[in-house]
Chains A and B, each alone.
Chain A
Amino acid sequence: MIGQVIFIIILLAAVYLFGKNVAKVRRNILLGKDTDRSDNPTARWRIMAKVALGQTKMVKRPTAAVMHFFIYVGFVIINLEVLEIMIDGIFGSHRVFSKPLGSLYGLLIGGFEVLALLVLVSCVVFLARRNILKLRRFSGTEMTAWPKSDANYILTIEILLMMAFLTMNAADYKLQALHFGHYVTAGSFPVSALIAPLLPAGADALATIERGCWWFHIIGILAFLNYLPYSKHFHILLAFPNVYYSNLKPKGEFSNMASVTNEVKAMLDPSFVPETTEISRFGVKDVTDLTWKNLMEAYTCTECGRCTSVCPANITGKLLSPRKIMMDTRDRLTEVGNNIDKHGKDYTDDKTLLDNYITREELWACTTCNACVEACPVNINPLEIITEMRRYVVMEESQAPASLNNMFGNMENNGAPWKYSQADRFNWAEKE
């Protein structure tokens, strides 16, 4: 009875805390500017099913794709078992699904065990790829101590949870054989049967191990849940809405700024009366100038580095790293959010995303080739943030590199980016 009370208290506290932190992330995302992504729901559900649920963009790197798939399927399916654990915890029952599900229960538990093993093995391989093989993709200037630890914590926690789950089953399996207490014969244990011989033979010791693992497993899951909003692992939730709200237009298309259209129309046609739009700066200087979608992407990024590993600028040793653009955006947004929590809504510090986080050298290294956008398994678009920041630098500050200012001048005067006369534009037809 006291166990049930403790369990319910822990469960409610965990859910409350998680809800509070998710609300904070949501508030931060909504600090972004509005952008309409409500069109074409059919195409959006389809792309979500394909890219988020079906993970079609992961397969470009097959090893990681297979391992990740095991962990993903393991996570989703083993959650059915967590449901049983929750019910058992609240009502003090034991393996409550075993009776109603009958022989299917054995199949399910057996399946969970196989998945748990696959998750465990995949996590070990992933840890090795990061820490022993030291894959290049997992290093880089932005991969400082915290992002590296974050990844290792996630993998270690998952390994521990799976080990607790399997050990719990192993003890249960042995107790069932002893016909001890409430341990009725239920389930099949293809994996934990193998570790059962390592456990002690005494029923009391086994029961202690079984209960210990049960509590460790469920408290571990609830703690992990509350770790998510602080971690790159939040992608397991945000991947779905983030892909749903994907850009459905061709990647080459950049947005036309409506505020500029008004001014240009007024310049070309003095009789034009623009619709009143709210006055804001051109382009992006800080995170609050970005759209909510850009900000959602920042929280969705799981720092896998596929973007950076295909970035032509990064490959050739330039400062630019698309992953850093996303991480900087998230870190700055978290800072802005924390400032609001501490000092109120109208507080502004003297920092901005531009310069304090992202340098101009990074912005000017981009070739706008869309390789990063194409590579992202959850359809994040670092390029949009880069071009929006270029817009601020060029249109608000007039701080484009000198050679680009020359190009602008040529285009204005001659209608071409080079210093050639418009009158010579058709000379090509007479050559041969």
Chain B
Amino acid sequence: MEEILNNSEIGHSKSETLTVPTMAQMVAEGNTPEILFWVGCAGSFDERAQKITRDICKILQHVGISYAVLGTEESCTGDPAKRAGNEFLFQMQAMTNIELLNAYEVKKIVTGCPHCFNTIANEYPGLGGKYEVIHHTQLIQGLINEGKLKAEGGESFKGRRITFHDPCYLGRGNGVYEAPRAALEILDTELVEMKRCKSNGLCCGAGGAQMFKEPEPGKKDINAERMTDVLEAKADVIASGCPFCMTMLSDGVKHINKEQDIKVLDIAEITVRANGL
């Protein structure tokens, strides 16, 4: 399945069918996957994020990593409960998840969401859940470094201006700034930084459980504020690595009526497109 598709119009059409193994299946067959893909709630239920979830699976399948998901056994990490102050609910979720993960003897986890990443990597160890946890942009960076992922055979991003919006729980929260950018640097494209980027990055407005409530009274919404940075950078692609940022940024682009000119894409989607997976 390594045919080279130079035409960007048909860049998506690589024909491998996606099969997603679950942990339960794998174990029943006596197999141990190398890595568990923690999908997360947004990745499981949000329509836009579901697409990104499938793209992450496509990447894993493409490079031939043995992986599995928890499927219906997965449950929320408890992140939004914890940020909202409900430590009880968080720890209930955490301990139930840890019990499951430990039962499956999981060693390594990749997440599709910076919130799941932060919670499992930093807050689960104290409750008995110790795993090597990476975010999917770090997975992609690693695969690029190993030469297993390139940016060829798919859509060309030539002539586009791409900017990366740092998710708070990936960037400031955990100091991961370079991995997502590494995935963009291999594209033949112009990478631009917004005025507020990396450790100075502006939040999309969804964190701290804001995603699940109306914003407090104010002059404007935070994602609208973020659009001023996007316009100033003259970017036509906003790349992100977080399903909540995805929602907020997409709404922000809609808010300024730029849906035709500015696309919001996850690093996984860009990788899949660039490789025609």
Residues on A lying within 8 angstroms of B by beta carbon are 60, 249-254, 256-257, 260-261, 263-265, 267-268, 282-283, 310, 312-313, 315-320, 361, 364-371, 373-374, 387, 389-395, 400-401, 403-404, 406-408, 411-412, 415-418, 420, 422-426, 428-429, 431-432
In angstroms, how far is the closest chain A Cβ from the Cβ of B260? 25
How many Å lie between the Cα of A244 and that of B48 in the bound state?
44
Query: 1/0 per residue B17-47: CB within 8 Å of A?
Result: 0101010000000000000000101011100
| B168, closest chain A residue (CB) | A369
* Inter-subunit contact B18/A432 (CB<8 Å): yes
Most B C-beta atoms less than 10 A away, residue of A252, A257, A283:
A252
- In the bound complex, residues from chain B placing their C-beta under 8 Å from that of A310 are 200, 202
How many Å lie between the Cα of A387 and that of B168 in the bound state?
16
A318-B84 in contact given A416-B41, A426-B69 (Cβ < 8 Å): no
- In the bound complex, residues from chain A placing their C-beta under 8 Å from that of B127 are 256, 261
A432-B45 in contact given A394-B86, A422-B75 (Cβ < 8 Å): no
How many Å lie between the Cα of A400 and that of B57 in the bound state?
37
13 contacts between A and B (CB under 8 A): A252-B168, A260-B87, A264-B92, A312-B222, A313-B222, A316-B218, A387-B83, A394-B85, A417-B41, A424-B45, A425-B45, A428-B50, A429-B57
Pick from B20, B80, B203: contact of A417, CB under 8 Å: B80
Q: Which of B70-107 contact A (CB under 8 A)?
A: 71-72, 74-76, 78, 80-89, 91-93, 95-96
How many Å lie between the Cα of A369 and that of B225 in the bound state?
15
Number of residues in B with C-beta < 8 Å to the partner? 70
A-B pairs, top 4 by smallest CB distance, nearest first, are A252-B173, A317-B219, A390-B85, A415-B75
A312-B205 in contact given A60-B200, A395-B88 (Cβ < 8 Å): yes
A425-B172 in contact given A282-B87, A367-B205, A395-B85 (Cβ < 8 Å): no
- In the bound complex, residues from chain B placing their C-beta under 8 Å from that of A250 are 118, 122, 173-175
Most A C-beta atoms less than 10 A away, residue of B50, B82, B86, B91:
B86
- B199 within 8 Å of A (CB atoms): yes
How many Å lie between the Cα of A252 and that of B74 in the bound state?
22
* Inter-subunit contact A313/B216 (CB<8 Å): yes
* Inter-subunit contact A370/B172 (CB<8 Å): yes
In angstroms, how far is the closest chain B Cβ from the Cβ of A75? 28
- B123 within 8 Å of A (CB atoms): yes
In angstroms, how far is the closest chain A Cβ from the Cβ of B9? 19
| A262, closest chain B residue (CB) | B91
* Inter-subunit contact B86/A361 (CB<8 Å): no
Most B C-beta atoms less than 10 A away, residue of A254, A257, A283:
A254
- B53 within 8 Å of A (CB atoms): yes
| A268, closest chain B residue (CB) | B95
* Inter-subunit contact B218/A429 (CB<8 Å): no
| B122, closest chain A residue (CB) | A253
- In the bound complex, residues from chain A placing their C-beta under 8 Å from that of B173 are 250-253, 370
In angstroms, how far is the closest chain B Cβ from the Cβ of A94? 52
- In the bound complex, residues from chain B placing their C-beta under 8 Å from that of A403 are 212-214
- B209 within 8 Å of A (CB atoms): yes
* Inter-subunit contact A394/B92 (CB<8 Å): no
Pick from B123, B207, B209, B211: contact of A253, CB under 8 Å: B123
How many Å lie between the Cα of A315 and that of B223 in the bound state?
11
- In the bound complex, residues from chain B placing their C-beta under 8 Å from that of A256 are 87, 91, 123, 126-127
Pick from B45, B76, B91, B207: contact of A264, CB under 8 Å: B91
* Inter-subunit contact A431/B50 (CB<8 Å): yes
- In the bound complex, residues from chain B placing their C-beta under 8 Å from that of A261 are 91, 127
- In the bound complex, residues from chain A placing their C-beta under 8 Å from that of B20 are 429
Q: Which of B95-136 contact A (CB under 8 A)?
A: 95-96, 118, 122-123, 126-127
